[in-house]
């Protein structure tokens, strides 16, 4: 018979039947077309499973009975004893309720100690504890480690999603991240977890991290848990299980949760209808685990390497070059408090100069010249001439490097592994202090530098004035030609 007929006869949901098959409790035959064929023995097994579950057996207890690890009579005896305890506790609770009702007391007048003593007396006389806290089956150390590893893998995935959103949508540069950025990543990752995890668990019974660790979560009937219940559960994990991932405090909360699970205690966000199933881990799961870690690491590096390239590639218009220049200025955290790089490719003052400002290093803002033919930028240059300034002179490696990156990074042959903007500033150093020429991917860059009355000390970027010199002159001609 097909699964639809089995559903009708047993009253079980299809997902429950498939779950019991996955747990090895039934074994339908596979037809050549891939469909499952259920025999009478499968139908009888499902009737037995449904009966035992109706009596309150967990899936693990059913598996023990089916495998012969626990005799049916032994299970029923123990279960009957548990049910009797529940009945006795319920009866005594009803008795106490009736007594309190008959006394007709308000909350203010209720003698709590009196009835607690009644409860203690009852426990002593029967030798049985009432309302004992229910414990879940204790997990072994390996299962606990798998649970917490699955949680970490999920958080890695959520954080990677946040990093991707920040870079692709908001254009943020990862290399410039601060502690505040990392904190924001964690917060947004937790928000993603709050909305996505209940959806995944309610539809598939697992998440990526749980799947890799061979974990599935269902309720006692073998059904996927409902979205509202799972949303409440996820909220509890975030607050009481991870303390919103606050450093140190979160590790303490997770360790405390680990201890509770090892002792068979229920966690604050769990009810007693949750059933974890752990499939036997094979090399596939181990490879998946390693794969997730490697994927996170590789993608993190990949995103950062992609960001070494500018937004515009190939032949550039002036506007595209300006956009590239600004991009690298942002990438390298280059900014001048009083100047902006405008749409025409020039540094322009954005506010009046403070008359009391004291210059420690003399810098003339360069005026760029551009040669454009057929709307294609072919040459960029600027000149600096300084006379009679007995101050340290800036060497303009920053402006030269930004111009160089904006053009070289646009060349089609330059890939994500070919450019390291943060080190290019130092690479351009020789052209900033001595005349020279370099060529890369067809882009020719040259500088002609001459100075008198200044000295170039090793390890210092500014040219320092010579005190006893009567002449202080500096000249720089910078030129970049595109093939």
Answer with the one of 306, 338, 373 that is the final residue of a domain: 306
The residue segments making up the domain with residue 26 are 3-67
Distance CA 205, CA 197 (A): 10
Do 50 and 177 lie in one domain? The reply is no
Q: Whose structure tokens read 């199933």? A: 277
Say whether pLDDT at 461 is over 90.
no
Which whole-number Å values give the CA distances from 194 to 154, 232, 357, in the listed order? 12, 9, 52
* Mean pLDDT of the region 4-32: 85
| Structure confidence at residue 407 (pLDDT) | 94
Q: What is the number of residues in the chain?
A: 483
Do 155 and 298 lie in one domain? The reply is yes
Distance CA 380, CA 410 (A): 14
Do 331 and 413 lie in one domain? The reply is yes
Question: With the C-alpha atoms ordered 180, 182, 184, 187, is the resulting torsion angle positive or negative?
Answer: negative
Which whole-number Å values give the CA distances from 64 to 19, 70, 198, in the listed order? 16, 5, 30
How many domains would you assign to the chain? 4
Nearest alpha-carbon partner for 190 in 162, 221, 226, 224:
162
Q: Residue 445: which residues within 8 A CB-CB, separation 6 or more?
A: 400, 404, 431, 437, 438, 439, 478, 479, 480
Q: What's the burial of 480, exposed, middle or buried (CB within 10 Å: 0-12/13-18/19+)?
A: buried
Answer with the one of 39, 67, 95 that is the final residue of a domain: 67
Do 53 and 170 lie in one domain? The reply is no
Q: Is 369 within a domain?
A: yes
Say whether pLDDT at 326 is over 70.
yes
Do 262 and 356 lie in one domain? The reply is no
Say whether pLDDT at 427 is over 70.
no
Tens of pLDDT, residues 368-384: 999 999 999 999 999 99
State the pTM of this model.
0.64
Distance CA 49, CA 26 (A): 10
Q: Is 103 within a domain?
A: yes
Q: Are 345 and 321 in contact (CB under 8 A)?
A: yes
Nearest alpha-carbon partner for 445 in 459, 460, 433, 435:
435
Q: Are 465 and 454 in contact (CB under 8 A)?
A: yes
Secondary structure class of 104 (helix, strand, coil) = coil
Q: Are 402 and 325 in contact (CB under 8 A)?
A: yes
Tens of pLDDT, residues 140-173: 788 888 888 898 889 889 989 998 888 888 888 9
Of the CA atoms within 13 Å of residue 85, those in its CB half-sphere come to: 15
Q: Is 132 within a domain?
A: no
Do 178 and 46 lie in one domain? The reply is no
Say whether pLDDT at 94 is over 60.
yes
| Structure confidence at residue 131 (pLDDT) | 56
Distance CA 211, CA 234 (A): 17
Across the chain, what does the average pLDDT equal? 84
Do 252 and 302 lie in one domain? The reply is yes
Distance CA 449, CA 367 (A): 17
Q: First CA to last CA across the chain, in angstroms?
A: 74
Do 344 and 438 lie in one domain? The reply is yes
Do 395 and 448 lie in one domain? The reply is yes
> For residue 76, what are its two tokens?
């029923």
Q: Is 136 within a domain?
A: no
Query: What CATH number does the domain containing 35 carry?
Result: 1.10.1660.10
Distance CA 475, CA 434 (A): 11
Do 328 and 441 lie in one domain? The reply is yes
Q: Is 146 within a domain?
A: yes
* Mean pLDDT of the region 103-109: 74
Do 327 and 405 lie in one domain? The reply is yes
Answer with the one of 67, 90, 115 that is the final residue of a domain: 67
User: Per-residue confidence at 426, pLDDT binned at 50, 70, 90?
Assistant: low
User: Per-residue confidence at 31, pLDDT binned at 50, 70, 90?
Assistant: confident
Q: Is 408 within a domain?
A: yes
Hey, what's the torsion of the CAs at 112, 117, 120, 125, to 10 degrees?
A: -140
Tens of pLDDT, residues 212-235: 888 999 887 778 888 888 998 899
* Mean pLDDT of the region 295-324: 92
Q: Is 297 within a domain?
A: yes
Do 325 and 300 lie in one domain? The reply is no
Of 13-17, 19-23, 108-112, the least confident: 108-112
Ramachandran assignment for 422, one of left (phi > 0), alpha (psi -120 to 50 degrees), beta (any other): alpha
Nearest alpha-carbon partner for 214 in 294, 269, 276, 154:
276
Say whether pLDDT at 134 is over 50.
no
Q: Is 424 within a domain?
A: yes
> For residue 28, what are its two tokens?
């339908």
| Structure confidence at residue 359 (pLDDT) | 66
DSSP state of 245: G
> For residue 97, what are its two tokens?
């309720």
Hey, what's the torsion of the CAs at 308, 313, 315, 319, to 10 degrees?
A: -80
Of 197-211, 286-300, 451-465, the least confident: 451-465
């Amino acid at each position: 018979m097909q699964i639809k007929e089995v559903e009708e006869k047993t009253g079980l949901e299809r997902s429950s039947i498939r779950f019991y098959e996955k747990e090895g409790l039934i074994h339908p035959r596979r037809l050549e077309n891939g469909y499952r064929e259920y025999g009478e023995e499968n139908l009888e097994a499902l009737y037995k499973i449904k009966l035992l579950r109706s009596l309150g057996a967990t899936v693990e207890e059913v598996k023990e009975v089916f495998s012969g690890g626990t005799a049916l009579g032994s299970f029923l005896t123990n279960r009957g004893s548990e049910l009797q305890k529940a009945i006795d506790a319920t009866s005594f609770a009803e008795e106490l309720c009736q007594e309190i009702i008959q006394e007709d007391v308000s909350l203010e007048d209720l003698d709590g100690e009196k009835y607690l003593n009644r409860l203690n007396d009852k426990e002593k006389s029967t030798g049985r504890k009432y309302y004992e806290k229910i414990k879940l089956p204790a997990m072994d150390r390996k299962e606990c480690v798998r649970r917490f590893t699955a949680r970490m893998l999920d958080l890695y995935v959520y954080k990677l999603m946040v990093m991707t959103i920040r870079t692709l949508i908001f254009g943020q540069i990862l290399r410039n991240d601060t502690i505040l950025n990392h904190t924001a990543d964690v917060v947004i990752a937790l928000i993603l977890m709050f909305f996505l995890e209940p959806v995944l668990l309610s539809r598939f019974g697992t998440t990526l991290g749980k799947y890799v660790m061979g974990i599935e979560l269902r309720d006692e009937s073998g059904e996927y848990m409902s979205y509202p219940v799972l949303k409440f559960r996820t909220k509890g994990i975030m607050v009481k299980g991870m303390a919103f991932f606050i450093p140190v405090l979160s590790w303490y909360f997770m360790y405390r949760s680990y201890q509770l699970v090892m002792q068979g205690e229920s966690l604050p966000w769990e009810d007693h209808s949750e059933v974890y199933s752990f499939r036997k881990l094979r090399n596939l799961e181990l490879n998946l685990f390693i794969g997730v870690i490697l994927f996170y690491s590789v993608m993190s590096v990949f995103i950062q390497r992609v960001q070494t390239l500018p937004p515009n590639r190939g032949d550039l218009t002036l506007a595209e070059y300006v956009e590239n220049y600004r991009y690298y200025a942002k990438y390298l955290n280059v900014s001048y408090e009083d100047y902006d790089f405008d749409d025409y490719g020039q540094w322009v003052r954005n506010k009046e100069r403070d008359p009391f400002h004291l210059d420690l290093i003399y810098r003339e803002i360069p005026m760029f010249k551009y040669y454009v033919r057929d709307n294609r930028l072919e040459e960029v240059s600027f000149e600096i001439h300084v006379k009679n300034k007995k101050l340290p002179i800036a060497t303009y490696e920053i402006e030269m490097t930004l111009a160089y990156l904006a053009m070289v990074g646009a060349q089609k042959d330059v890939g994500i592994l070919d450019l390291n903007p943060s080190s290019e500033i130092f690479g351009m150093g020789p052209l900033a202090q001595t005349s020279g020429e370099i060529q890369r991917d067809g882009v020719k860059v040259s500088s002609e530098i001459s100075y008198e009355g200044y000295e170039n000390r090793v390890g210092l970027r500014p040219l320092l004035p010579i005190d006893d010199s009567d002449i202080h002159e500096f000249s720089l001609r910078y030129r970049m030609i595109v093939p």
